[in-house]
Amino acid sequence: MDIATGTVNPATRNEEALRFLLTRRSRPPKTLVAPAPDRAALTEILTAGLRVPDHGKLEPWRLIVLERPALERLAAAAGTYAEAHAIPERDAAKGVGQFAQSPLCIAIIAVPRPTDKVPAIEQTLSVGAVGVSLVNAALAAGWGAGWLTGWVAHDPGFAGPALDLAPGEWVAGYVHIGTETLTPPERPRPDFATAVTWVSA
């Protein structure tokens, strides 16, 4: 940045990164298949995904990597839970399918930290930033990736025992990663004029 003129030095502008961010598109998890990234490739994605704003360096989040055997266990557990709790068939199928069909899944776990310095909402926003960052990191690495929630994330009666969560922890979502089988069409984006307000004085 040239402080005198308020302009960016062209040498510091990352055209490739900007092009990626301007065209990024999550992949529907149901369209992802094996192979998924191996542990070495996934380590890079996870490391990038955790580079997010984090007021106070609290790290109010953690990640659980769910590989195929774990996903099969969770699919079975989701089916049993859905039947026992009379979850509607369509919703039940979505919950089970999220695990049954996934090549690889990262559960994003919110871990609220007790502190008077950082409001709970700021910790929650940092958790959300991890989700976006993980999806973008996987896409940038050449994989398909998408973020899902649903009752298997939001129902503590299922998610707590299934993922062995500690008291106070909760699931922010599941990021599914794999090989994409199709590139989805572009979807409508926010109207810039409606979403952005310029304040000059």
Q: Is 73 within any annotated ligand binding site?
A: no
Q: Is 154 annotated as a binding residue?
A: no
187 assigned binding-site residue: no
Contact by Cβ (8 Å): 62, 111: yes
Say if residue 26 carries a ligand binding annotation. Answer: yes
Do the annotations mark residue 55 as ligand-binding?
yes
Q: Which residues contact 89 (CB under 8 A, 6 or more apart)?
A: none
* DSSP assignment string, 73-129: HHHHHHHHHHHHTT--HHHHHHHHHHHHS-S-EEEEEE-----SSS-HHHHHHHHHH
What is the distance between the alpha carbons of residues 97 and 64, in angstroms, rounded to a whole number?
19
Residue 71 counted as an annotated binding residue = no
148 is in an annotated binding site: yes
Separation CA 182–CA 28 (nearest Å): 9
- 51 among annotated binding-site residues: yes
**Binding site residue list:** 24-26, 51, 55, 147-149
Annotated binding-site residues for FMN read 24-26, 51, 55, 147-149
